[in-house]
């Protein structure tokens, strides 16, 4: 019979402040199979762990139950203690009497104590039936994938590459750079965004260990830590990138136009285009959605022959290309090509998008002079549609008064409850830059409150006040379009305690940061989870900020939550360090919490085979007939096959039927 | 003494178990009626487990999984959903009110929802009264 040791933790007053720990310990002592039951102020402390190890060494216990916090954070710690004491670490079970008991039932100490007894009994029941298991180790493919080529992805890739690991950097736009490439300057130093980003983009483009896969998207991810197989779809560029020199002649001659996303729709680009002037790689693509097939040159068709000259008629882009990189006679696949990559770890840095103004009817979104802050960023950028001159969109006029509105869609129950974290600071930056350039410009800023918590940020904000920028605390209630194009702003000044109204020429909305397009689909391909509906969930909000619940998958940047550039770069370097661990170790541990078929019980019915989400089960001959076999490297231990098997021939190690029945019996005793 | 239901919960470790932990972090209050059994996926839960818990006198059984589309194992919860439709009929056939059983999708970010579901389910079972097996005085 098993000799179970039960260790009940006070967790300071976290547990003992509500639950009668001694009563739980004394109760545990009476249960069959329990050899010792002890308590300690902090079971996870050195002395607490030592207590367990000593009991193991003394031969008193061969199964361990710790009643404490949650296995989600502390199971690994106690498992390690078992191993150090000389016991198989899988002979351990935790009873969650803090997170799921004392913390939630503080209003009912008696009920909480009774629940704790049941939960401990359940853990003892399971522990009595636990069997020793062995970790497995598999080799690792020494390569990494970074998804998303913004500043976060670029730094993650550079770090991994500098550590000597082959790194693929996948970006869906034709160039890396992300949103940072769209910015004019960066707070709180007013560094030119392009000046600090472009050299890093070039480094990533030239690094011998980095392979850029731009204009590409992740199609499918399979496998597990150390051995992922990723299908990347390289979208059809319609231009031979091996020949393209990025001269831009095709774009110059292309007559088709479509709104330029890089300029946030403030200007048009051509169907043949280069993403932006400093693009890396600097290659042109043809956007077939916007192409008008001039000269009847649909892709894959032979050119028409001129009746006058007898010469073939080519499209302007073809004629313009001096490198001969465009040939519309080729029947190029509009779906592009699929590239299969083998990698050991993956960093997801897919960034964010900002909400469009159309969501906010109270701010007259139909007016051209109401724009988002990202649009303003393009409007004041030297590479933007006006060459950096501040003009009211749709006119050639300079504004005399302009208005900034914070928290548009952020901290608003109608849209997003989160704070977008960067808006206060970038609005102050934009206002400061404009005030420096146009001292006569009257700038009014409306904040719910100013959040300037970063290094040097509050000084930057105080400086803005000193420059004569008007800062109001209070929300803007609405905006009215006036004849002649100006806008009437109706707001509240909380400090003066009065409503204010004035006319403005240009209105800037600091719209909320939200998850990037396609984030949901990517999450489903990778098994990532969300925090609510907004951003990818990290493994632990404090202690696992770059890891995810999928081993081998790490997060960096705004896909995990809104953050500024320094925080994104920090997290990217952290994610790269974490992603490099399995690559450097060369082998990864596979926990044996996996399913296994007892072939002698298997009837070979095959019900389990299509149920497995990982195609890990196949029928293979065994004795007289085919029976199910599970590939341990493919199995992830979900147990779907176990619960479906009519012959009870499949066991999920660590969650065996008799273990769960013992738990049910204990809970209903 | 007021009847306090005894609820057995099967919680997938990625979503509902994490959501229950989050309820603790947020100090959400709910009655101490539910005791969770951690499983890898709601799809791990055999219908027999639910019937066994009821047969042994549990007043209610809850299965908690990830939202459809968010399953850590891609589609385990689709299988749970399919099985549990049938299970409700089995529960009725076994002589139990199928309202004693619930399947809920509670994500790791929904601590508050976990507390609300347990509170509400507890109230519902209070109305149904104790498991009739217990009233008969045995299994």
Sheet holding A370-372, edge to edge: A370-372, A506-511, A401-408, A442-447, A470-473
In chain B, residues with a C-beta closer than 8 Å to the C-beta of A118 are: 6, 35
- Tens-digit pLDDT profile for residues A372-421: 999 999 999 999 999 999 999 988 899 999 999 999 999 999 999 999 99
Q: B7 falls in which pLDDT band (50, 70, 90)?
A: very high
Candidates A104, A108, A110, A122: best to mutate against B (most CBs of B within 10 A) is A104
Most B CBs within 10 Å: which of A124, A552, A594, A667, as the mutation test of the B interface?
Answer: A667
List the single residue in A99, A593, A660 with the smallest CB-CB distance to B37.
A660
All structural domains of chain B with their residue ranges? 9-130
CA distances from A38 to A81, A348, B68 (A): 16, 44, 42
Q: Which of A354, A363, A465, A453 is nearest to A405 (CA)?
A: A363
* Residues of chain A with C-beta less than 8 angstroms from the C-beta of B31: 105, 108, 111
How many pairs of residues across A and B have Cβ atoms under 8 Å apart?
151
Mutate to test the interface with A, among B6, B22, B24, B69 (most CBs of A within 10 A): B24
Question: Which residues in chain A have their CB less than 8 angstroms from residue B43's CB?
Answer: 638-640, 643
Chain center to CA of A285:
28
By CA distance, what is A549's nearest residue in B?
B14
> What is the rounded distance in angstroms from the CA atom of residue A567 to the CA atom of residue A549?
22
User: Taking CB atoms and an 8 Å cutoff, what residues of chain A touch B39?
Assistant: 639, 655, 660
pLDDT tens readout for residues B38-93 = 999 999 999 999 999 999 999 999 999 999 888 888 888 898 998 888 899 999 99
- From residue A361, alpha-carbon distances to A24, A118, A479, A485, A639 in Å are 59, 55, 9, 17, 49
CB environment A432-453: b (16+ within 10 A), e (fewer): bbbbeeeeebbbbbbbbebbbe
Burial (CB count <10 Å: 0-12, 13-18, 19+), residue A562: buried
A222: CB partners within 8 A, 6+ apart: A228, A229, A230, A614
| Whole-number pLDDT of residue A542 | 85
CATH code for the domain defined by B9-130: 3.40.50
- Indicate whether A198 pLDDT > 80: yes
| Cβ-Cβ contacts under 8 Å, B86 against chain A | none
Which of A119, A531, A661 minimises the CB distance to B52? A661
Planar angle of CA B115, B118, B119, nearest 5 degrees? 85
**Distance to chain B for A643, nearest Cα, Å:** 5
How does residue B139 score in pLDDT terms, banded at 50, 70 and 90?
A: very low
Q: How far is A530 from A348, CA to CA, in rounded Å? A: 13
Question: Per DSSP, what are the bridge partners of residue A168?
Answer: A145, A211
Q: Chain A residue with minimal CA distance to B45?
A: A643
Residue of A542, A638, A660, A661 to mutate for B, most B C-beta atoms under 10 A: A638
Chain B, nearest residue to A663 by Cα: B37
What integer is the mean pLDDT of A505-528? 94
CB A6 within 8 A of CB A97: no
Q: Kindly report the average pLDDT of chain A as a whole number.
A: 95
Within 10 Å of residue A239's Cβ, how many Cβ atoms?
22
Query: What does the pLDDT read at residue A533?
Result: 66
A-chain residue closest to B138, CA distance: A669
What residues of chain A lie within 8 A of the CB of B63, using their CB?
Answer: none
3-state secondary structure of A396: coil
Residues of chain B found within 8 Å of residue A642, distances taken between Cβ atoms: 44, 46
Give the global pTM.
0.85
CA distance A600 to A186: 67
pLDDT tens string A420-466: 999 999 999 999 999 999 999 999 999 999 999 999 999 999 999 99
Q: Which residues of B touch A119 (CB under 8 A)?
A: 35-36
Residue A524 pLDDT > 70: yes
Instruction: Answer yes or no: do B31 and A122 touch at CB < 8 A.
Output: no
Angle between the B111-128 and B16-25 helix axes, to the nearest 10 degrees?
Answer: 100
When pLDDT is cut at 50, 70 and 90, the band that residue A516 belongs to is very high
> What is residue B119's predicted lDDT score, i.e. its pLDDT?
98
Contact A104 B30 (CB under 8 A): yes
State ipTM: 0.97
Residue from the list B37, B44, B70 with its beta carbon closest to the beta carbon of A530: B70
Q: Which residues of B touch A652 (CB under 8 A)?
A: 40, 44
Comparing alpha-carbon positions, the chain B residue that sits nearest to A536 is B109
pLDDT single digits (tens) B122-138:
999 999 999 999 866 54
**Burial class of residue A361 in the structure, from the number of CB atoms within 10 Å of its CB (0-12 exposed, 13-18 middle, 19+ buried):** exposed
Model confidence pLDDT, tens digit, residues A89-129: 999 999 999 999 999 999 999 999 999 999 999 999 999 99
Q: Which residue has the tokens 């979208």?
A: A235
Chain A CA closest to residue B114: A100
Which positions ≥6 away from A588 have C-beta within 8 Å?
A137, A138, A140, A225, A226, A344, A551, A552, A582
Number of helices (H) and strands (E), helices first, in chain A? 16, 38
Domains of chain A: 4-135 (3.40.50), 144-235+341-350+534-586 (3.50.50.60), 249-335 (no CATH), 352-514 (3.50.50.60), 594-652 (3.30.70.20)
């Amino acid at each position: 019979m098993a000799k179970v040791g039960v260790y009940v933790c006070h967790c300071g007053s976290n547990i003992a402040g509500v639950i009668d720990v001694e009563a739980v310990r004394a109760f545990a002592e009476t249960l069959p199979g329990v050899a010792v039951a002890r308590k300690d102020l902090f079971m996870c402390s050195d002395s607490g762990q030592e207590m367990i190890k000593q009991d193991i060494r003394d031969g008193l216990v061969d199964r361990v139950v710790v009643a404490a916090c949650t296995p989600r954070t502390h199971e690994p710690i106690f498992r390690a203690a078992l191993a150090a004491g000389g016991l198989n670490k899988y002979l351990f079970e935790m009873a969650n009497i803090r997170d799921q008991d004392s913390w939630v039932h503080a209003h009912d100490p008696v009920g909480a104590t009774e629940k704790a007894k049941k939960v401990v009994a359940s853990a003892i029941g399971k522990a009595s039936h636990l069997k020793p298991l062995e970790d497995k180790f598999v080799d690792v493919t020494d390569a990494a994938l970074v998804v998303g080529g913004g500043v976060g992805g670029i730094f993650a890739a550079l770090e991994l590459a500098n550590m000597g690991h082959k790194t693929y950097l996948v970006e869906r736009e034709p160039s890396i750079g992300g949103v940072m490439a769209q910015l004019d300057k960066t707070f709180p130093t007013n560094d030119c965004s392009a000046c600090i980003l472009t050299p890093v983009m070039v480094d990533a483009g030239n690094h011998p260990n980095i392979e850029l896969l731009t204009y590409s998207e992740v199609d499918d991810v399979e496998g597990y830590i150390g051995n992922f197989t990723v299908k990347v779809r390289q979208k059809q560029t319609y231009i031979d990138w091996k020949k393209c020199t990025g001269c831009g002649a095709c774009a110059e001659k292309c007559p088709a136009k479509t709104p330029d996303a890089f300029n946030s729709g403030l200007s048009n680009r051509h169907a043949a285009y280069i993403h932006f002037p400093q693009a890396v790689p600097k290659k042109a693509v043809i956007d077939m959605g916007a192409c008008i097939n001039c000269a009847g040159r649909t892709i894959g068709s032979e050119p028409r022959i001129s009746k006058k000259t007898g010469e073939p008629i080519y499209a302007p882009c073809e004629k313009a290309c001096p490198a001969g990189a465009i040939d519309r006679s080729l029947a190029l696949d509009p779906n592009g090509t699929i590239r299969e990559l083998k990698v050991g770890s993956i960093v997801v840095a897919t960034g964010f998008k900002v909400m469009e103004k159309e969501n906010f009817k109270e701010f007259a979104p139909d007016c051209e002079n109401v724009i988002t802050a990202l649009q303003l960023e393009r409007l004041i950028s030297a590479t933007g549609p006006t060459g950096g001159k501040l003009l009211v969109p749709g006119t050639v006029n300079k504004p005399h008064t302009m208005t900034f509105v914070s928290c548009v869609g952020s901290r608003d129950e109608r849209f997003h409850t989160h704070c977008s974290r960067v808006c206060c600071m970038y609005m102050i930056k934009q206002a400061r830059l404009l005030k420096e350039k146009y001292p006569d410009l009257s700038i009014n800023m409306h904040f719910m409150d100013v959040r300037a918590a970063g290094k040097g940020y509050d000084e930057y904000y105080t400086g803005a006040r000193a420059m004569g920028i008007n800062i109001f605390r209070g929300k803007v209630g609405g905006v009215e379009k006036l004849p002649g194009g100006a806008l009437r702003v109706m707001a509240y000044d909380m400090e003066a305690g009065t409503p204010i109204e004035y006319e403005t020429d240009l209105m800037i909305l600091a719209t909320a940061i939200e998850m990037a397009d396609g984030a949901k689909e990517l999450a489903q391909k990778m098994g990532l989870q969300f925090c609510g509906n907004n951003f990818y969930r990290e493994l632990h909000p404090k202690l696992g900020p770059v890891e995810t619940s999928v081993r081998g998958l790490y997060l960096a940047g705004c896909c995990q939550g809104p953050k500024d550039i320094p925080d994104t770069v920090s997290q990217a370097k952290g994610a790269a360090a974490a992603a490099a661990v399995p690559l450097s170790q060369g082998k990864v541990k596979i926990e044996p919490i996996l399913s296994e078929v007892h072939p002698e019980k298997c009837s070979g019915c095959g019900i389990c085979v299509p149920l497995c989400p990982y195609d890990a089960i196949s029928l293979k001959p065994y004795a007289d007939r085919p029976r199910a076999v599970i590939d341990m490297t493919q199995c992830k231990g979900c147990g779907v096959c176990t619960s479906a098997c009519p012959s009870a021939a499949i066991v999920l190690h660590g969650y065996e039927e008799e273990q769960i029945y013992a738990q049910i019996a204990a809970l209903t005793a | 003494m007021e009847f306090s239901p005894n609820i057995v919960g099967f919680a997938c470790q990625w979503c509902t178990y994490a959501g229950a932990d989050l309820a603790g972090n947020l100090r959400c209050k709910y009655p101490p009626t539910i005791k969770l059994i951690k499983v890898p996926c709601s799809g791990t839960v055999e219908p027999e487990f639910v019937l066994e818990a009821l047969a042994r006198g549990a007043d209610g059984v809850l299965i908690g999984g990830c939202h459809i589309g968010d399953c850590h194992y891609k589609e385990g919860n689709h299988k749970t959903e399919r099985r549990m439709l049938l299970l409700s009929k089995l529960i009725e056939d076994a002589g139990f009110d199928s309202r004693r059983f619930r399947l809920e999708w509670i994500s790791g970010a929904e601590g508050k929802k976990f507390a609300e579901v347990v509170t509400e389910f507890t109230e519902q079972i209070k109305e149904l009264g104790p498991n009739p097996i217990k009233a008969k005085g045995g299994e």
